[in-house]
Amino acid sequence: MEESLRQQILTAFPQKTVDIRTYSPMALAFLGDAVYSLLIRTIVVSRGNRQAEKLHRETSSLVRASAQAAIGDAIWDMLTPEEQTIYKRGKNSNPSHHTRNASLQDYLKATALECLIGYLYLQDKNDRILELLAFGIKAMEDSRKTNKTKS
């Protein structure tokens, strides 16, 4: 079986083993934000080569807190009890700040999604991350299309 990117990173840069259950929700979200961003950028670039400005605009529409909150809402019923616990830890975290472009509720849901992604990434559950995001992104994009049609 091929090593995951995370395993390759830890082989190249050895660290002491830490029980991931001891990581704070904000530490998990910090990592999850980077993983989520990489996945979204990969998805956007794979949709076709375009000017960097267009790539950035599409990426921004998927990484903003409101989009992450919508994805979190869409996947909630798919989550295992363990995943729901991690998501709730992220949602109940006490961030020192939140973006001006999002409501606190959306920001906390986005943090929850990032926390869950960070947790799953540390467990090498990349297939699960992709399953959840594929469902959540499709649900969010379908909802956006439906809302545009109603307007």
Helix residue ranges, H only, 2-125: 5-12, 25-46, 52-63, 65-75, 81-91, 104-122
Q: Which two tokens stand for residue 102?
A: 């999002």
pLDDT score recorded for residue 30: 95
Please tell me which residue in 19, 33, 77, 142 is annotated as part of the active site: 33
Please list, residue by residue across 118-144, b when 16 or more beta carbons sit within 10 angstroms of its beta carbon and e when fewer do.
bbbbbeebbebbeebbeebbeebeeee
Q: Provide the residue ranges of all domains of the chain, joining segments of one domain with +.
A: 21-140
pLDDT score recorded for residue 66: 93
pLDDT < 70 stretches in the chain: 95-98, 148, 151
pLDDT score recorded for residue 96: 65
Active site residue 33: yes
pLDDT score recorded for residue 102: 80
Eight-class DSSP state of 86: H
Angle at alpha carbon of residue 33, lines to 48 and 6, rounded to 5°: 85
Surface-to-core class of residue 62, CB atoms within 10 Å of its CB (0-12 exposed, 13-18 middle, 19+ buried): buried
**Alpha-carbon span 29 to 19, nearest angstrom:** 16
Tell me the CATH number of domain 21-140, given options 3.40.50.720, 3.40.50.2300, 1.10.1520.10, 1.10.10.10.
Answer: 1.10.1520.10
